[in-house]
Amino acid sequence: MITMTSRDFNQNAGQAKLAAMNGPVFITDRGRPAHVLLSFEEYRKLAGSGKNVLELLASPETAPLDFDPAKLRDGLLKAADFS
């Protein structure tokens, strides 16, 4: 992980681009993370296919989801008292 200040980034953009080929470069502004420089390939991996959640769930290649929620404890749910 590489971190550089905004000033360093402005003075050494080429160095930042080379560093981004090996992983994200965090650019700080007044000591706080403000931007992240990624290679385009890494960005595409993070961005995914561009499909929304509904399209991903409806796609035939989506495997069935096994979901077995834990049982609720007794007394956790109570009837509402509107009086």
* Residues above pLDDT 70, as percent of the chain: 75
Average pLDDT, rounded, for the chain:
82
Q: Which long-range contacts (CB under 8 A, 24 or more apart) does 11-15 make?
A: none
Q: Which CATH architecture describes the domain 2-58?
A: 3-Layer(aba) Sandwich (3.40)
pLDDT digits (tens, 9 = 90+) for 32-62: 999 999 998 888 888 776 667 677 667 666 5
**What's the confidence (pLDDT) of residue 16?**
96
Rounded Cα–Cα distance for residues 59 and 20 (Å): 33
Domain locations in the chain?
2-58
Global confidence as pTM: 0.57
